[in-house]
Structure 1
Amino acid sequence: MTSLLRLARAVARRLRGLSRRQIAGMIVIVPLAVGVAISSMIGQAAVATGLLALLLTAVLAGVVHLSRRIGGVNRSTQEAVRELRATVDQLQRRVIAAVEKERLAAGDRHQEVTEAMARTERLTGRGAELLLREQSREIEALFQLFQTVTPRAPMPSSAPGSQPTDLLGLVHAARERRPALTVALGCGPAIVWLGYALAETGGRLVAVDHDAGRVSLVRGWLAEHGLGSVEVRQVGVAELVVEGRTVDWYDVEHLDGLSDIDLLLVDGDLAPATPDPLAPALHVLGRRLAMGAAVVVDEEPRVAPRQGGGFGLTSRQRLPGRWTALTQPHSTTVTTPI
């Protein structure tokens, strides 16, 4: 009894998994098969034969239908396989093309890197040689500076644009010309070095700057080195008309008392931002220059032949570092230090 129940449950589970067409086929076949069995048992051979014929016809129809379904599935499978094969072939061609493209690109990059390395190897020797020459020049200038000046406190570090060669040019110009009054437009470490150089000759140094931070810093340096005679003025920025153009420059009302200037230093890196720092300096202070004065500027000057208050600053001389000295044609020149 238990075995029959298990068999019934298994059959029920199988029946629940059948499709509608399979259930319809079972509804047709099962009664026919039962009819054939009953007809045979009761001796109705003709009925059993007819029912058997119907049963065989139904089975044959099911087989034909199943064959057609299997053929359709097979055709669908073959079509899917062909599409998959075409997709794989297309992907394979794309992968091959991408790999070939990357290989060519890698070859080009390798060629570029090889050429760049070759250029670097050719330039390395010259670049290192130039760098060593520049470093040697700065070291030599530093030795000359400390042979000229004996500081009483640690000297301030060189700021950008104020290397030992730059400082040496300024110190040598001050010692050679022995100016009674030197005016420096812009405060930096050079003020301390100029203060020492002018202290030996008894010259007066006035430094002008618009930046309160730099003014305070330079005043602290001067106090540490005992250079109390150096005057540092903080002068604000105001508009100034120069040759019909309005520029930002130092407020001229705070530059009183500066006359008979023997040496004027114009540091464009520290002065108010103007296209040509020399033009407003000569416009205001050019008429206050002493005879034979020199104007030192940190870039190649664009000065007209009769600028500078009519003194004709047409003679140019390159100083060590980034400086150029403008003087009158017959004034005293500065001997360039070795």
Structure 2
Amino acid sequence: MSGLTRFGGRLAVRLQSLTRPQAVVLMVVLALVAGVWTAAASGHAGLATSLVAVLLLGVLLGILHLSRWMAGLYRANQAAHRDLRIVVEQMQRRVVAGVEKERLSAGDRHQELTRTLARGLRQHGHGNDLLLRAQSREIEAMFQLFAEFTPRAPMPSSGDFALNPTDLLDLLYLVRLRRPQLVVELGSGTSTVWLAYALEKTGGRLVSLDHDGDYARKTREQLDAHGLSAVAEVRTAPLTELAVDGKTYRWYDVEKLADVRDIDLLLIDGPPAATGPDARYPALHALQSRLAPVATVVLDDADRPDEQDAVRRWTENITGLTAEPRLLGRHAVLSYSRSGAPASVPA
């Protein structure tokens, strides 16, 4: 009994889930079955047969309809499968193309990186070679300097803003060769001490200008420590405005050299480039009248564009000023003759 109850419950649930067309078809079938049963029971065999035939025809039509529906469902499934296969194939082609593109791009980047690394290694090796050569030159120059002079106190360091040993060696060679009686230096520091030692030997005198009061004081202390204050003096000359060729520059106060005449050697190592463009160009405009009839001008940092331009403009506009070949270092050496004739300088 319980089994019939469960079957009845399931049947009721299924009947409730039928759609309207399915319910109509079920009712027609039940009506035909009831008609066949009633006709057979009442002895109307022909009517029962006719109803059975109609029922069979309905079943056949239902089977045909179901067959067509399943065939359509199969075709739709095949079409969906075909579309899915096309989409998958397209995605595969895109993935393969993307992977190939990335592989080729990675290969190109690898080659470029390899070339860059190789070039960097070559440049690094070349740079190291140049650095070692430069260090060797500076060390050799330092040995020559200390072989020529015996300092009486620790020497200030060279390099950075100070003259390099090669620059100092070339500068002191000029002093020994040309034996200037008066040297004026623009910008004090390490070179001031070395110049003072050289002039102590040749009997000359050094006047150095510095716009920085603290730096000038330190240089004076170094001169005192080496016992060179009688040979060299450092004057503090603040930067003031100076008009040259219609342009205003910040340059040393010229009045600090009011008592200076007949400069045999002028060393231009200031003002610093940070004070403005062409910072050292005004030097000869301000001091040309104070140069000796035959003098030597040395410009430091001549490898920089502003200093190169200054040398070009000086030699073009100042009569009697000519550039000499450089021996060592990074400075330019110029000979000056007030008469305009080529200066006679020692070889």
- TM-score (normalizing by structure 2): 0.71
Is the Cα contact below 8 Å between 1:207 and 1:231 reproduced in 2? yes
Q: Please give the root-mean-square deviation of Cα atoms over the aligned residues, in Å.
A: 4.1
3-state SS of 1:206 partner = strand
Q: Indicate the residue corresponding to 2:156 in structure 1.
A: 155
Provide the C-alpha distance between the structure 1 equivalents of 2:271 and 2:70, rounded to a whole number of angstroms: 92
Map 1:246-261 onto structure 2 (within 5 A): 246-250=247-251, 252=253, 254-257=255-258, 258-261=260-263
Q: Which has the higher contact order (CA 8 A, sep 6+)?
A: 1
Q: Indicate the residue corresponding to 1:69 in structure 2.
A: 69
CA distance 1:171–1:39, shift in 2 (3 Å): same
Provide the C-alpha distance between the structure 2 equivalents of 1:204 and 1:185, rounded to a whole number of angstroms: 11
CA distance 1:171–1:3, shift in 2 (3 Å): farther
Is the Cα contact below 8 Å between 1:32 and 1:51 reproduced in 2? no
Aligned partner of 2:312 among 299, 302, 320: 302
What letter corresponds to residue 324 of structure 1 in structure 2? A
Q: Give the C-alpha shift of residue 92 in structure 1.
A: 4.0
Percent identity among equivalent residues?
40
Is the Cα contact below 8 Å between 2:193 and 2:222 reproduced in 1? no
Q: Give the C-alpha shift of residue 159 in structure 1.
A: 0.5
Q: Give the C-alpha shift of residue 321 in structure 1.
A: 0.6
Provide the C-alpha distance between the structure 1 equivalents of 2:15 and 2:247, rounded to a whole number of angstroms: 103
Q: Give the C-alpha shift of residue 52 in structure 1.
A: 4.4
Q: Indicate the residue corresponding to 2:239 in structure 1.
A: 236
Q: Does 1:173 align with 2:174?
A: yes
3-state SS of 1:259 partner = coil
Provide the C-alpha distance between the structure 2 equivalents of 1:61 and 1:162, rounded to a whole number of angstroms: 113
Provide the C-alpha distance between the structure 2 equivalents of 1:11 and 1:71, rounded to a whole number of angstroms: 29
Map 1:1-338 onto structure 2 (within 5 A): 2-11=2-11, 14=14, 20=19, 23-30=20-27, 32-33=29-30, 36-37=33-34, 40=37, 43-44=41-42, 49=49, 51-101=51-101, 129-147=129-147, 148=149, 150=151, 152-153=153-154, 155-156=156-157, 158-159=159-160, 162-187=163-188, 189-198=190-199, 201=203, 203-209=205-211, 212=212, 216-217=214-215, 219-220=217-218, 222-223=220-221, 226=224, 229-238=232-241, 240-242=243-245, 245-250=246-251, 252=253, 254-257=255-258, 258-267=260-269, 270-271=272-273, 272-275=275-278, 277-278=280-281, 280-298=282-300, 299=302, 300=308, 301-305=311-315, 307-308=317-318, 312-328=320-336, 329-333=342-346
What letter corresponds to residue 70 of structure 2 in structure 1? I
What letter corresponds to residue 238 of structure 1 in structure 2? E
Provide the C-alpha distance between the structure 1 equivalents of 2:157 and 2:178, rounded to a whole number of angstroms: 25
Q: Structure 2: 5+ residue runs without aligned partners?
A: 303-307, 337-341
Provide the C-alpha distance between the structure 1 equivalents of 2:207 and 2:89, rounded to a whole number of angstroms: 87
- 1:128-182 Cα deviation digits (max 9, x unpaired): 6544332211211122233335262362352068432123323433454444443
State the number of aligned residues: 322
- 1:8-53 Cα deviation digits (max 9, x unpaired): 55445555665x3xx4213421452365157527814656555544
Is the Cα contact below 8 Å between 1:264 and 1:294 reproduced in 2? yes
Q: Give the C-alpha shift of residue 250 in structure 1.
A: 0.7
